[in-house]
Amino acid sequence: MTDNLQQQFKNNDTKFDFDKEINRKNSYSKKWDKYQGKDIIPFWIADSDFETAPAILEALHQRVDQGVFGYTEQGSTGVREAIISHLSYHYDWPIKSEWIVPLSSLVNGLTFSSLLAGNEGDEIIVPEIIYPPFNFVVANTKRKRIRIPMRLEAERWSLDLDALEAAITSNTKMVLFCNPHNPGGTVYTEQELLNLQRICKKHDLLICSDEIHCDLILDEDKKHHPFGNLNKDAANRSITLMAASKTYNVAGLSFGFAIIPNEEIRKKFAKDVLEKAPEVNLLGQVATEAAFKHGESWRLQQIDYLRDNHDYLLREINAIPGLKMFPLEATYLAWIDVSVLALDNAESFFENAGIGISAGVYFGDKNFIRLNFACRRSLLEEAIKRIKKAVSEL
């Protein structure tokens, strides 16, 4: 998106209230109902506590008021146009409508990507640390997972490309990748992505790039580069997974999409989606179209709020003896080193303190926890009070 257009959105007079208190208890909320009846504040699963953009609410109200909810077109013209415009404005990526494959979830996208990786028993490279479904989709598709370590340099996580290339065998067929990275929040540079692409080209590997957090860049000096837009070769061997769900807090409406320029790969992928996946949600398409067409001012203000929350959390966590948080380039998911505390069970320790977190062991490193800071500031302040008290009593 051009700087002038970004500035127009920033200058929008409408101010959105991200401090608004919304009671999500007993609302079919997976995040909040996990601790029903307990004095535990949830900071675990990756959905925000913010009311979604008014433009999305208005579009949903209009659609609901029609009163008919029959079978829906799988990727309507409107939502395809919105996706094309969104990727063009933000990432200078001129995709075609036929490249879009609608999905009811991006985990399904990971699964169907894995099915394209050769045959049963063939190898898929997966970074570690990583969002847990990356690992179980490989097992569920009867492929062999090859774990590649992440490197921590200057408080920034990155792929160990030397280790990745060294691990490739004749049975290796795909790399499952996450950009921005979850957890850790790394936004990979264009050069880092080109280095990965060259390895994939050299060894003729497919790559599935989960880019669901790409619209949540916190570091103003960083820019997201879709893997499929690097060059012709990257486009030809890539499956890019995206959604409005994390950015606009509409994950419960079950709509995402894959971008697959290669026709042969796309046909195989789309066939599996058609035969094996639930159909996409009507209201998810409505929400995504509204988000990408009319939600930019809201998104920019949310980013500003998240940056403030990030800076607050970074300062407060690093002031607590035994805890270390590294700055995030993207996402609203803090990755906190708790190794000094020598906890037997980090999840139980923090739940006993009244804080619901995601334990790092599920991501591949028991020395960390993941904490979602996409919430009103007062909840974060209460979390810090509880964490300080619990750590001081160890």
One-letter amino acid of 44: W
On whether the CB atoms of residues 243 and 285 are closer than 8 A, the answer is: no
In the predicted structure, residue 4 carries a pLDDT above the cut 50: no
Q: Give the integer Cα–Cα distance in Å for 168 and 207.
A: 13
Q: What is the crossing angle of helices 133-140 and 106-115, to 10°? A: 40
- For residue 218, give every residue at least 6 positions away whose Cβ sits within 8 Å of its Cβ, in sequence order, or none: 185, 303, 306, 307, 310, 328, 329, 330, 331
Q: Give the integer Cα–Cα distance in Å for 251 and 301.
A: 20
Closest alpha carbon to 58 in 238, 293, 235: 293
Average pLDDT over residues 74-92: 97
Q: What is the pLDDT of residues 282-298, one digit of tens each?
A: 999 999 999 999 999 99
Number of separate domains in the chain: 2
Q: What is the pLDDT of residues 303-335, one digit of tens each?
A: 999 999 999 999 999 999 999 999 999 999 999
Last residue of a domain, one of 294, 318, 336: 294
Closest alpha carbon to 141 in 101, 179, 174: 174
Domain span at residue 311?
Answer: 3-53+296-392
Last residue of a domain, one of 277, 294, 311: 294
Looking at the structure, do residues 31 and 136 belong to the same domain, yes or no?
Answer: no
Helix (H, G, I), strand (E, B) or coil at 114: helix
Last residue of a domain, one of 294, 324, 342: 294
Q: Give the integer Cα–Cα distance in Å for 299 and 94.
A: 22
Q: Give the integer Cα–Cα distance in Å for 254 and 113.
A: 18
- For residue 157, give every residue at least 6 positions away whose Cβ sits within 8 Å of its Cβ, in sequence order, or none: 129, 150, 151, 181, 184, 185, 186, 326, 335
Q: What is the pLDDT of residues 339-387, one digit of tens each?
A: 999 999 999 999 999 999 999 999 999 999 999 999 999 999 999 999 9
pLDDT at 258: 98
pLDDT at 324: 98
Average pLDDT over residues 271-281: 95
In the predicted structure, residue 186 carries a pLDDT above the cut 70: yes
pLDDT at 391: 98
Looking at the structure, do residues 180 and 285 belong to the same domain, yes or no?
Answer: yes
Looking at the structure, do residues 197 and 261 belong to the same domain, yes or no?
Answer: yes
On whether the CB atoms of residues 347 and 279 are closer than 8 A, the answer is: no
- How many other CB atoms are there within 10 angstroms of residue 61's CB atom? 10
Looking at the structure, do residues 171 and 252 belong to the same domain, yes or no?
Answer: yes
pLDDT at 11: 53
Looking at the structure, do residues 178 and 267 belong to the same domain, yes or no?
Answer: yes
More confident residue, 13 or 175: 175
- For residue 350, give every residue at least 6 positions away whose Cβ sits within 8 Å of its Cβ, in sequence order, or none: 356, 357, 369, 387, 390
In the predicted structure, residue 5 carries a pLDDT above the cut 50: no
In the predicted structure, residue 57 carries a pLDDT above the cut 70: yes
Looking at the structure, do residues 271 and 198 belong to the same domain, yes or no?
Answer: yes
pLDDT at 13: 76
Q: Which residues of 81-113 are buried (b: 16+ CB within 10 A; e: fewer)?
A: ebbbebbeebbebebeeebbbbbbbbbbbbbbb
pLDDT at 2: 42
Mean pLDDT score of the chain, rounded to an integer?
A: 96
Distances (CA, A) of 291 to 54, 217, 308: 9, 17, 23
One-letter amino acid of 312: Y
Percent of the chain at pLDDT above 70?
A: 97
